[in-house]
């Protein structure tokens, strides 16, 4: 009997000591996909536009934020705000020439937070600001402390720039005018084709370690370049311009940047350019799909937070306006979708107004990291858990005029967009987004809406000039 007791005790000891130790839960990876100058004219949003089956498909597996907004409708201020967690009035960056560390040398950026917590932090393509197309193939205004490894692809689209067509030749900057090209060669030879290929390589190399991977696609930033098959996908006779009432007379002149309306171009040229924008968007859509396919092939779906976002919107003829630097819905509103592993709300849509500055605290929250103090956004985790959750935070967008001497400020609630130019001295706008989502009827001077103006105006900072 004594021997039996000894054997039983020994057996139990072996079981206990030989059992594998309980493993710590794996850290969530982050795949952070940026698309340059992408407006919401996509299949998964409410605006007819480019054919984008891969982004549409991703939207069905993620929470799509229908009312997400940038803090400043220009690349560098917007990206700096998102990656720093600070609004433009704190970064003091309102143009494309200044990197964040010239203002805050010791800042901990979003990717740097992950790097500091043991993650591999990689970048392929444009994450911080690049001047497109001239900085393609370089690091542009990149932030060195943010990354473990960077790759700067350069494709044949950068080398064929002498052949680019410019419909607004008075502007010699082909990265800020209506420029386009139907490119020869293959998709793999284009810069964004190389971005996708390099991103897949980086995924494969670091699939077994926690990673934060920033993938930045360059199109549909002008010049809009794609190969012939993407142009063929959008026959010219299917491309339409906005049909609008005579409403521009009620818009403050400072709100408009394209004068005369539509650059005074004939409708045919505008439609040709819009087709190129859609072709470039569809081309990028396919490249995004390749990266998502690789994530799935590598069995990383169940352990990776995927964020798909654009740095601002882009006007395609609305109000006679084109490009960015505008406070209309089409320019301030961005693409934003977030897929978190195992989230029961994936595939749903949130109508709450949110901001790009919210992404820093959101990702820190989802991945269990402690962010630096002073971030100015809010974690979107409550809306990821329940897209219809109560949310009383409006979204703010601002933009400068007259060489950054004057500021326009806009606030977006679920029902209204309210905008003041030069603290109201150069005009005020109010649009009822439920009744007038295309912003044709400026209600700011309508006595019936005086109480709405009185409620929204105090939400805006009142300085006329940037801080």
Q: What is the structure's pLDDT at 174?
A: 96
Residue with tokens 């309980």: 22
Average pLDDT over residues 256-261: 97
354 DSSP 8-state letter: E
Q: Which two tokens stand for residue 100?
A: 């964040």
Compute how many other C-beta atoms are within 10 angstroms of the C-beta atom of residue 393: 13
CB neighbours of 317 closer than 8 A, spacing ≥ 6? Answer: 241, 242, 262, 270, 274
Task: Report how far residue 415's alpha carbon sits from residue 355's, in angstroms, rounded to the nearest whole number.
Answer: 16
DSSP-based three-state secondary structure for 423: coil
The per-residue pLDDT of the chain, averaged, comes to: 93
285-295: pLDDT as tens digits: 999 999 999 99
Is the model's pLDDT at 245 over the cut of 50? yes
Looking at the chain, the whole-number percentage of residues with pLDDT higher than 70 is 94
Q: 90 to each of 70, 147, 176, 331, how far by Cα in Å?
A: 15, 23, 26, 22
Q: How confident is the model at residue 46 (pLDDT cuts 50, 70, 90)?
A: confident
Residue 26: predicted pLDDT: 61
Span 298-343, pLDDT tens digits = 999 999 999 999 999 999 999 999 999 999 999 999 999 999 999 9
Could you give the domains of the chain? 29-388 (3.40.720.10)
In whole angstroms, what is the distance from residue 462 CA to residue 423 CA? Answer: 5
How much is the pLDDT for 334? 98
- Res. 13: pLDDT tops 50: no
Q: Kindly report, residue by residue over 97-126, the tens digit of the pLDDT.
A: 999 999 999 999 999 999 999 999 999 999
What's the CA gap between 41 and 133, in Å, rounded?
23
Note if the pTM is more than 0.75.
Answer: yes
HSE-up (13 A, CA, CB side) for residue 270: 18
- Active-site residue list: 75, 129
Average pLDDT over residues 126-140: 95
pLDDT tens-place string over residues 375-421 = 999 999 999 999 999 999 999 999 999 988 899 999 999 999 999 99
The confidence score (pLDDT) of residue 403 equals: 86
Three-state DSSP state, 381: helix
Q: Answer whether residue 69 shows pLDDT above 60.
A: yes
For 365, phi then psi, to 5°, come to: -65, -50
Exposure string over 191-214, b if 16+ CB within 10 A, otherwise e: bbbbbbbbbbebbeebbeebbbbb
The whole-angstrom separation of Cα 257 and Cα 253 is: 8
Residue 152: CA count within 13 A, CB half-sphere: 17
- What does the pLDDT look like over 178-232, one tens digit per residue? 999 999 999 999 999 999 999 999 999 999 999 999 999 999 999 999 999 999 9
């Amino acid at each position: 009997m004594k021997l039996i007791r000894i054997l039983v005790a020994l057996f139990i000891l072996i079981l206990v000591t030989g059992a594998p130790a309980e493993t710590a839960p794996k850290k969530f990876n982050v795949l952070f996909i940026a698309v340059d100058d992408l407006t919401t004219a996509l299949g998964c949003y409410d605006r007819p536009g480019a054919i984008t089956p891969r982004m549409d498909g991703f939207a069905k597996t993620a929470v799509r934020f229908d009312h997400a907004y940038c803090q400043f409708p220009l690349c560098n201020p917007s990206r700096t705000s998102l990656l720093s967690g600070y609004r433009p009035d704190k970064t003091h960056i309102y143009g494309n020439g200044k990197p964040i560390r010239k203002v805050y040398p010791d800042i901990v950026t979003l990717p740097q937070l992950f790097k500091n917590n043991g993650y591999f932090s990689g970048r392929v393509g444009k994450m911080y600001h690049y001047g497109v197309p001239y900085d393609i193939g370089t690091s542009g205004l990149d932030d060195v402390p943010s990354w473990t490894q960077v790759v700067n692809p350069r494709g044949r689209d950068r080398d064929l720039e002498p052949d680019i067509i410019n419909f607004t030749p008075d502007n010699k900057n082909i990265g800020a005018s209506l420029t386009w090209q139907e490119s020869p060669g293959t998709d793999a030879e284009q810069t964004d084709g190389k971005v996708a290929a390099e991103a897949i390589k980086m995924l494969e190399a670091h699939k077994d370690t926690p990673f934060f991977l920033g993938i930045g696609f360059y199109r549909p930033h002008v010049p809009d370049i794609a190969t012939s098959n993407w142009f063929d996908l959008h026959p010219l006779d299917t491309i339409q311009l906005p049909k609008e009432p005579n409403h521009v007379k009620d818009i403050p002149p400072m709100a408009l940047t394209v004068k005369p309306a539509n650059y005074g171009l004939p409708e045919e040229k505008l439609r040709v350019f819009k087709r190129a924008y859609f072709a470039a968007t569809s081309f990028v859509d396919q490249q995004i799909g390749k990266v998502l396919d690789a994530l799935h092939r590598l069995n990383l779906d169940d352990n990776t937070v995927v964020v798909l976002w654009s740095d601002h919107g882009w006007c395609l003829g609305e109000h006679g306006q084109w490009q960015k630097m505008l406070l209309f819905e089409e320019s301030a509103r961005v693409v934003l979708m977030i897929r978190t592993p195992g989230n029961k709300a994936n595939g749903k849509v949130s109508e709450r107004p949110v901001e790009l500055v919210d992404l820093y605290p959101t990702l820190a929250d989802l991945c269990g990291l402690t962010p630096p103090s002073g971030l100015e956004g809010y974690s979107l985790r409550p809306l990821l858990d329940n897209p219809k959750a109560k949310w009383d935070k409006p979204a703010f967008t601002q933009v400068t005029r007259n060489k950054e001497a004057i500021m326009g400020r806009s606030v977006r609630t679920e029902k209204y967009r309210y905008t003041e130019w030069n603290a109201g001295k150069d005009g005020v706008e109010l649009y009822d987004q439920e009744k007038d989502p295309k912003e044709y009827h400026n209600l700011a001077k309508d006595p019936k809406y005086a109480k709405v103006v009185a409620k929204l105006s105090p939400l805006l900072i009142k300085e006329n000039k940037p801080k």
